[in-house]
Amino acid sequence: MVDNPLTKNIDMSRPPLEIAAYEAADGYQSVRLIAKGLSPEDVLQQVKDSGLKGRGGAGFPTGLKWSFVPQGDDTPQQKYLVVNADEMEPGTFKDRLLMEGDPHLLIEGVIIAAYAIRASKAYIFLRGEYVASERLLRHAIDEAVASGFLGNNILGSGFDLELIVHTSAGRYICGEETALLNALEGKRAIPRAKPPFPQVSGLWGKPTIVNNVETLCNLPGILTYGVDWYHGLTKGSDHGTKLFGVSGRVKTPGCWELPLGLPIRELLEDYAGGMQDGLALRGFLPGGGSTDFMLPEHLDTALDYDEIAKLGSRLATGTMIVLDDKTCPVGMVGNLMKFFAKESCGFCTPCRDGLPWVEDIFRDFEAGRGNEKDLQILHDHVDYLGPGRTFCALAPGATAPLGSGLKYFKEDFERHIKEQCCPYKH
Amino acid sequence: MAKIVIDGVSYEVDPNNNLLQECLSQGLDLPYFCWHPCMGSVGACRQCAVKQYLDADDKDGTLVMACMTPASDGAIISIEDEQARSFRADVIESLMISHPHDCPVCEEGGECHLQDMTLMSGHNYRRYDKKKVTHRNQYLGPFINHEMNRCIACYRCVRYYDDYAGGTDLSAQASHHHVYFGRQADGVLESEFSGNLVEVCPTGVFTDKGFSKHYVRKWDLQSAPSVCVGCAVGCNTTPGERYGSLRRLVNRYNSEINGYFLCDRGRFGFDYVNSEQRLKEPVRLLDSESRTLSSEELAATLAEFSSSRAIGIGSPRASNESNFMLRCLVGDENFYSGFSDTEHGAVQSIIELAADPAFHCPSISEIEQADAVVILSEDVTNTAPRLALALRQSVRNKALSLAEDCHIPQWQDAAVRELAQQQRSPLCILSSYATRLDDVASDTVIESPRVLSAIGFAIANKISATAASSDGGATEGYGELIARVAAQLMAAKRPLVIAGTTAGDTDLIRAAANIARALQEKRGEKPVDLCLLVPEVNSMGLGMLVNKENTLGRALEKLSSGAVSHAVVLENDLYRRADSGVVDAALSRLDNLMVLDLLDTPTTAKASVVLPTTAFSEHEATYVNYEGRAQLSFQVHRNHSAAKPAWRWLNGDQECDVETMVNRCSSEAKGFDKLGQLLPDPAQFVAGMKIPRQSQRYSGRTAIKANLNVHEPKQAVDSESVMAFSMEGISAQKDAAFMASSWAPQWNSNQSISKFQEEINGKLKQGHTGTLLIKKLADSGAYLQAESAYPDVSKGSLEVVLAQQIFGSDELSARSNSIQERMTDPYIGISPADAQAQGVQHGDMVSLDGIDAPVVVCIRSKMRTGVAAIYCGNGEINPHALPETISLGKSESAMGERGIRGLIISDVLEDY
Amino acid sequence: MSKQLIASSGQRARQLTAAEIADIDHEMGIYPDKQAVGLEALKIVQKHQGWVSDESLLAIAGYLNLPAAELEGVATFFNLIYRQPVGRNVMLFCDSVSCWIMGCEGLKAHIKETLDIDFGETSAEGDFTLIPVPCLGDCDRAPVMMVGEDLHRNLTTEKIDEIISHYRRGEGGE
Ligand SMILES: Cc1cc2nc3c(=O)[nH]c(=O)nc-3n(C[C@H](O)[C@H](O)[C@H](O)COP(=O)(O)O)c2cc1C
Ligand code: SF4
Ligand code: FES
């Protein structure tokens, strides 16, 4: 049995596996199990038992989420599964790998999830810029339809599923699951209030599950090789493997499937090859642009949801952005703030009007116009834009690098003020 | 009821509401922007943050948005908590980042919710020193200004305009801090309810264009509680006057009628009051020369009319008091209807039906509760606009009940809409042409009048076989629809049947009554909602005052016969009520015709005596709305010409106050005995002090006439009213219905109304909502039979139905400047097939047989072939001169200046 | 096609092409309501025309019977709907954090110098429009940009010169 279920078929030097080769590598076994009589309840139970947590950022247990979909005759018969393939978080490059490397794995995951929640229609909400993913997914879907894995009465199971690729017109907020639903409905992608959760009233008001690409790619392995096998993959308290990426000035940036629970140092030094020559590590964002900075002293922490949370950051997408000692931390945070300010949907006040102010202040710092008053305003905004203050999690995401950056790189902010310029530019 | 604790104090609250609404209901001050009392919550602005604690042991608590949190039993919250306060101050700081410093020149200043909330939230120093975001403004038509730089992106405008009022041409655009609220391109805002944006916007983005042109501060307006005279709904308004001209008109909250919203006819249709064409002097035509009457001549003239057994013709746009005084002057038997004959009959049957215990005539707020509606050919958007807005809310009852099933609170506005998608409560519209409510209708039937009334009778018959059956031939093909609508009405919790007089077919009223009666018979118990609409502000009052037999036709006959020498016409243009030839013939036989009116009309042109009367804002008066609800409207300002309330002229120009008039009418006129209840009880007023019409901050009083005389002028005494033309007195805190305008400490904007409501959206504390005059009979009546005769339409001709326009069909508002910019020329709406058959194209000018004025052809894709919908304009065409069927002839005339550009109907085929 | 008289803004809808209509009709089978198709139609028209003009927007509104204002609200919300004309090749230049760390600002300056355009501008020859785009999800090969549908990774100034001349020679796209 394999220990890299997500990437076992991936070799980016060649096109992804066609359906026959994919099937030969244990592919679509789970669909055959379903055809043999595995019930939706069984699937749900196995996924619950597997302990799989969502890989889209929030880390919510997948099985539990599915169990909130109302089932029974007196509930809406139309239910939807939506794949969140909007990957746009700065520094995140894992779902692209899965879709371009092994599209059938995602399709198989979709079938399993849709079956478990009894959805007869599924949409892949795909980032518009991912044109290669779109092409490969469409091709793979055609193959799956031709082989009877998608469409009506899948392999004689009585289960119908239509899978549609929807390409986004582009905005980071579309990754937020309720904004995504609005975008899919052709509306402005403004997040929705929760409750009601999409599980109860989602796409076109119908019960809907939104899952991340990587989350769904975990499902075929769980069903094919079993929960015990899945539990055996990990090195820490969370189950399964995960894609981890490293970007920044390291020797060999990249993305690897590794068991959860590996020490960060191993990822950075063994896989990413350590820092480029002449550079030292200043800090890193462990899971994409909306996680808190961690420092070299945290390198021995395990890549595990809880361990990282203990240090005030989040594992989130598992794609690490590395800050070296020749790059300005103020500039790096400023870059992120510009991103968040521009990608705010404009619905709630703190995010809409607070982030541009923060962005402006960073621009002033860069241009040598930093001052104490503005530094205070940055500090104020960490609280002001924090969790529970805004309508959705976009602005709180921005406060993660902002707050931790202000804390860990205090002297850099002060030097910008004192020297009235960016000290890294000289 | 639930118990919650706010800052250590226990309150009993309604758990079905959210915390913000309940805090405000309790009279607490909690700032907010995006929430609106009748639009629910979306949680956008984040201004209403409070601290919520899990239990008594929780010392930290979490910040929550009060508007997005249910007021559940046991909730413990704090408004005063330091963290909550400072978060609210931060929110207002960010809202003000790009807000211009233009309060001194902003029309909203002094009644700006943003100003109020800024102070309340404690933001008074601008730390922001970066570049502000600026926007381009749009031209939005004659009613509304656009100043986007003032926007704080609360999303209320689009939520009101699109979600609440069903508009489609205003939207939120762009994103992040560039969000923009406007049209796709410059152009007139299409909704008939656009004016409410002025009040819905918490700051000065959407302002009243007419008011801006001649602007004064809210506190410098002289105001009084008034009633709109635009149609029979009788919305409550607050007009404001300065320096002798009426400057603007805003909504006055009435929980049973208009709530928070008016239509644009009502809001913008008042400035005929300021018109140069107002009649100013009493004039008599002597030796073919008109002369202003001296006071002696005037007295003599009045005496002459009162002693000459004159005929009096009343008016549905005149007050009860004026109609009543005319009736007193000429005597019951000589007091005639001011309606057309058809309308007279219709109004009389409506009054009869209103007394039937099987029916209940619903108020606007009751209409909002209807969950299945059938409209029989009354184009409510154009005849009783506020009611159309209520119907848009009624179709949402389906969504609300779905939400309840899913445990989604009703105030979760976006969630409820998302859940329901396009599912709505049934609304069936039977009409001869497409209407503005079609977008929310479950069924629209576009048919000839004969078929429409047959369908109406058939629905009743379907519900109860005892009801008269209808012409089976006419309803062919509609069997399924009839069964469906009947079933929907039967299944509903609160079904509603609507008809009215403007379609001109009294069979529709009979059919509507039959449907409601059948429902009542089958459902038992409670009376069924039957809403029968009359067209004008006091159609019901006039109908109740005039004898059934005294039709206008009889009066004109009598005049033509030469049997009388004198006639008095009260605030009425007879050329709108009967065929011009017939009116001419009747008036030409008279020796003396006295016409009382405020503006010149074709009828005043025929008068030998013209007496100028005051407009609605210049006198105190009562009117009876479509429900039979009498309401008192106060005088706002004085008319400085010789104009007087008509009743005063008719009373021989005697000194006499309104109260006496109301009391007389109440005791002498049958059916009016409760009218007196409208008068304020002197015991309510502190130390007998009057209620000031001017605010405590009213400025420039001593300077007003400084160019003439620096002495402070004596305050004018209003001996008649409980209100004073002054800032002195005690404002009516005790009875909100007598408030000159709503204000409470820290609440200078219209949002202050919450301080006067028993609870949010509830009744005004001790507030008058009017008095229902109709007394129910003991027994209900019988089913009615079809009576109307319909023309046989020969080949090549078209059956005529009349179309109404919100801007134009009402005589007085049509003489207001901004309304005129929205008016269209008279048009004839025909189907594409008929256009082809008649060889005419969209925009062609055609003549109609027997009618002088040409009309524009308007091809409507949803017109029934063989039927023509004719809009007569503002008196350009006399509807009573139109034959029942018509054929078109090409006309050489050019199109009028307006063309048909003002027309907003969904089924117009081509732009012109 | 029904148009509302008073909405006239001097602008008129253009005629949708048969190909556009065919593509839009196809989407109608995929989505249960017209509003969803509206956003798809914007993308379709952009695919055919390069951008979405007012005339195109009104045409879509007319064809789907959706309010133009609502469509405008959607069109202006999303990054990848262009409401202004763009050049023959759109450069989606990633300016997010990983690319920034890897020196994308210098590359941006280089493009600016070479083509004389800033973000949001189109080169004088009309061949390139430069638009910043959030993280393209290829951070291990930063700096990155897309030109048309092609992804270009591990950018350097030399590579950018090559890319520009490549597209100038008309060899871009598939
Ligand atoms: C601003 C914002 C952007 C997000 N972007 C993504 C994204 O691109 N992809 C994704 O899978 N989840 C994203 N999420 C998380 C989703 O809202 C959601 O939690 C996730 O799709 C759930 O899937 P999972 O349970 O499989 O993790 C985003 C959340 C926020 C607040
Ligand atoms: S935090 Fe508010 S403005 Fe920002 S993206 Fe979320 S809802 Fe939109
Ligand atoms: S009023 Fe509560 S968030 Fe706006």
As for the ipTM of the complex, it is 0.96
Measured by CA distance, the residue closest to atom 7 of ligand 1 is A175
The amino acid present at B658, given as its one-letter code, is: V
A273: confidence class by pLDDT, cuts 50, 70, 90? very high
The amino acid present at B348, given as its one-letter code, is: Q
Mean of the pLDDT values across residues A255-284? 97
- pLDDT 10s digits, B829-838: 999 999 999 8
- pLDDT 10s digits, A70-82: 999 999 999 999 9
Question: Is B335 exposed, middle or buried, given 0-12, 13-18 or 19+ CB atoms closer than 10 A?
Answer: buried
The backbone torsions φ and ψ at residue B139, rounded to the nearest 5 degrees and listed phi first, read -80, 125
Q: Which of A79, A93, A180, A256 has the highest number of chain C CBs within 10 A, making it the mutation to test binding with C?
A: A93
Q: How far apart are CA B203 and CA B154, in angstroms?
A: 10
Render B366-408 in DSSP notation, one character per residue: HHTT-SEEEEES--HHHHSHHHHHHHHHHTTHHHHHHHHHTT-
Smallest Cα–Cα separation from B207: which of B268, B266, B254, B258?
B268
**% of chain B residues with pLDDT over 90:** 82
Question: Which residues are paired to B532 by β-bridges?
Answer: B499
Mean of the pLDDT values across residues A191-202? 97
A321: confidence class by pLDDT, cuts 50, 70, 90? very high
User: pLDDT value at position C3?
Assistant: 37
B769: confidence class by pLDDT, cuts 50, 70, 90? confident
Q: Is a pLDDT exceeding 70 seen at residue C171?
A: no
CATH number of B798-890: 2.40.40.20
Which ligand has its closest atom nearest to the C-alpha of A350?
A: 2
Q: Is a pLDDT exceeding 90 seen at residue B765?
A: no
Question: Which residues are paired to A163 by β-bridges?
Answer: A122
Tell me how far CA of residue A102 lies from CA of B519, B779, C54, in angstroms: 64, 80, 41
Tokens at A98, concatenated: 């899965």
Q: How far apart are CA B538 and CA B716, in angstroms?
A: 30
All domains of chain A in start order, with CATH:
19-232 (3.40.50.11540), 241-323 (3.10.20.600), 329-425 (1.20.1440.230)
Q: Which of C1, C2, C78 has the highest number of chain B CBs within 10 A, making it the mutation to test binding with B?
A: C2
For residue B68, the CA-to-ligand 3 centroid distance in Å is 7
The residue length of chain B stands at 912
- pLDDT 10s digits, C1-55: 233 333 444 578 999 999 999 999 999 999 999 999 999 999 999 999 999 999 9
Residues 6 or more apart in contact with residue B855 via CB below 8 angstroms: B825, B826, B827, B828, B845, B846, B847, B848, B870, B877
User: pLDDT value at position B735?
Assistant: 66
For residue A308, the CA-to-ligand 2 centroid distance in Å is 26
Q: What is the dihedral of CA A212, A349, B182, A186, to 10 degrees?
A: 10
Exposure b/e, A345-359, CB count within 10 A at least 16 = b: bbbbbbbbbbbbbbb
User: pLDDT value at position C4?
Assistant: 38
Q: Which chains touch C (3 or more CB pairs under 8 A)?
A: A, B
H or E element: which one contains A66?
A: helix A62-67
- pLDDT 10s digits, B202-238: 999 999 999 999 999 999 999 999 999 999 999 999 9
Q: How far apart are CA B472 and CA A401, in angstroms?
A: 76
User: pLDDT value at position B302?
Assistant: 86
Residue A143: CB atoms within 10 Å: 18
User: pLDDT value at position B718?
Assistant: 83
Ligand 2: which atom is nearest the Cα of residue B176? 3
| DSSP-H helix ranges across C14-103 | 18-28, 34-49, 54-64, 68-75, 97-101
For residue A347, the CA-to-ligand 2 centroid distance in Å is 6
- Beta carbon of A240 within 6 Å of any ligand 1 atom: no
Q: How far apart are CA B680 and CA B678, in angstroms?
A: 6
B910: confidence class by pLDDT, cuts 50, 70, 90? low
Residues 6 or more apart in contact with residue B442 via CB below 8 angstroms: B424, B426, B427, B428, B488
DSSP strand pairing (B867-871 vs B885-886) = unpaired
Angle at the Cα of B106 (from B103 to B111), degrees rounded to 5?
80
DSSP strand pairing (A319-324 vs B2-6) = unpaired
| Domain residue extents for chain B | 2-95, 283-344+541-678, 359-526, 798-890
Q: How far apart are CA B507 and CA B349, in angstroms?
A: 11
Flag if A169 and C80 touch (Cβ within 8 Å). yes
Task: Please give the mean pLDDT across all residues of chain B.
Answer: 93
- B225 close to B738: Cβ distance less than 8 angstroms: yes
Region of B791 please: left (phi>0), alpha (psi -120 to 50) or beta: beta
User: pLDDT value at position C10?
Assistant: 56
Tell me how far CA of residue B132 lies from CA of B95, B100, B122, B178, in angstroms: 12, 8, 21, 11
Say how many CA atoms lie within 13 Å of A337 toward its Cβ.
Answer: 30
This prediction's pTM: 0.96
Residue B726: CB atoms within 10 Å: 18
User: pLDDT value at position C122?
Assistant: 97
- Beta carbon of A343 within 6 Å of any ligand 1 atom: no
Q: How far apart are CA B248 and CA B705, in angstroms?
A: 23
CATH number of B283-344+541-678: 3.40.50.740
Tokens at B142, concatenated: 């004659």
Has domain C89-168 been given CATH number 3.10.270.10?
no
For residue C77, the CA-to-ligand 2 centroid distance in Å is 13
Ligand 1: which atom is nearest the Cα of residue A54? 27
User: pLDDT value at position B289?
Assistant: 84
Mean of the pLDDT values across residues A93-103? 97
**% of chain B residues with pLDDT over 70:** 98
Residue B126: CB atoms within 10 Å: 11
Mean of the pLDDT values across residues A392-406? 98
Flag if C38 and A186 touch (Cβ within 8 Å). yes
- B156 close to B39: Cβ distance less than 8 angstroms: yes
DSSP 3-state of A104: helix
Residue B772: CB atoms within 10 Å: 17
- pLDDT 10s digits, A284-310: 999 999 999 999 999 999 999 999 999
Strands (E), B389-547: 427-431, 443-446, 495-500, 528-533
The structure tokens 């901004």 sit at: B818
Inter-chain contacts counted by CB atoms under 8 A, chains B and C: 75
Render A179-248 in DSSP notation, one character per residue: HHHHHHTTS------SSSPTTTS-GGGS-EEEEEHHHHHTHHHHHHH-HHHHHHT-SSSS-SEEEEEEEE
DSSP 3-state of B360: strand
| Domain residue extents for chain C | 18-77, 89-168
3-state secondary structure A347-411: CCHHHHHHHHHHHHHHHHHHCCCCCHHHHHHHHHHHHHCCCCCCCCCHHHHHHHHHHHHHHHCHH
Q: How far apart are CA B583 and CA B467, in angstroms?
A: 40
Taking the CA atoms of A10, A16, A22 and A24 in sequence, report the sign of the dihedral they define. negative
Residue B59: CB atoms within 10 Å: 6
For residue A401, the distance in angstroms to the closest alpha carbon of chain B comes to: 20
Q: Which of B46, B134, B178 has the highest number of chain A CBs within 10 A, making it the mutation to test binding with A?
A: B46
Flag if A321 and C101 touch (Cβ within 8 Å). yes
- Beta carbon of B34 within 6 Å of any ligand 3 atom: yes
Question: Which CATH architecture fits B2-95?
Answer: Roll (3.10)
- Beta carbon of A398 within 6 Å of any ligand 2 atom: no
Q: Is a pLDDT exceeding 70 seen at residue A426?
A: no
Chain mean position to CA B124: 40
Smallest Cα–Cα separation from B127: which of A380, A417, A363?
A380
- pLDDT 10s digits, A15-36: 999 999 999 999 999 999 999 9
CB within 8 Å of chain C, chain B residues 837-896: 861
Say how many CA atoms lie within 13 Å of A90 toward its Cβ.
Answer: 33
Mean of the pLDDT values across residues B149-162? 98
Q: B289: which DSSP letter? A: E
Question: Which residues are paired to A245 by β-bridges?
Answer: A255, A319
Q: By the CB < 8 Å criterion, does C2 face chain B? A: yes
Give Rg (Cα) of chain C.
Answer: 18
Smallest Cα–Cα separation from A34: which of A140, A99, A110?
A110
User: pLDDT value at position C7?
Assistant: 41
- pLDDT 10s digits, B521-536: 999 879 999 999 999 9
The amino acid present at B42, given as its one-letter code, is: V
Region of B692 please: left (phi>0), alpha (psi -120 to 50) or beta: beta
Tell me how far CA of residue A31 lies from CA of A23, A144, A338, in angstroms: 11, 11, 45
- pLDDT 10s digits, B694-738: 988 887 766 667 777 777 667 777 888 888 898 888 776 666 677
User: pLDDT value at position C24?
Assistant: 98
Q: B32: which DSSP letter? A: -
Question: Which residues are paired to B610 by β-bridges?
Answer: B283, B595
The amino acid present at B849, given as its one-letter code, is: D
Chain mean position to CA A200: 23
Has domain B359-526 been given CATH number 3.40.228.10?
yes
Tokens at B412, concatenated: 């979760």
Angle at the Cα of B448 (from B446 to B451), degrees rounded to 5?
95
Residues 6 or more apart in contact with residue A273 via CB below 8 angstroms: A250, A251, A252
**% of chain C residues with pLDDT over 90:** 89
Smallest Cα–Cα separation from C91: which of C3, C166, C4, C15?
C166
User: pLDDT value at position C172?
Assistant: 53
- pLDDT 10s digits, B857-907: 999 999 999 999 999 999 899 999 999 999 888 888 887 778 887 788 878
Tokens at B161, concatenated: 């305009």
